[in-house]
Amino acid sequence: MTITIHPTAIVDPGAQIGERLDLPLTGDGQATCPATGQTYRLENGTILTQN
């Protein structure tokens, strides 16, 4: 799986339309993609998926 990180956004790779995730670019956080329902966690600079 590839996570695309733009200078201003992290994009859900599973969403057909490139849904932006509400994650910080640094630090820790969690966001759920509104299009796919997939939850992502940013932890120590690594993006992890949650089931």
Domain ranges of the chain: 4-13+24-50
Class of domain 4-13+24-50: mainly beta
Report how far apart, in Å, the C-alpha atoms of 10 and of each of 1, 38, 49, 51 are.
Answer: 14, 14, 13, 19
What is the predicted pLDDT for the residue at 34?
85
Q: What pLDDT digit, counting tens, does each position of 1-51 carry?
A: 555 555 556 666 666 667 778 888 788 999 998 888 889 888 887 888 886
What is the predicted pLDDT for the residue at 30?
92
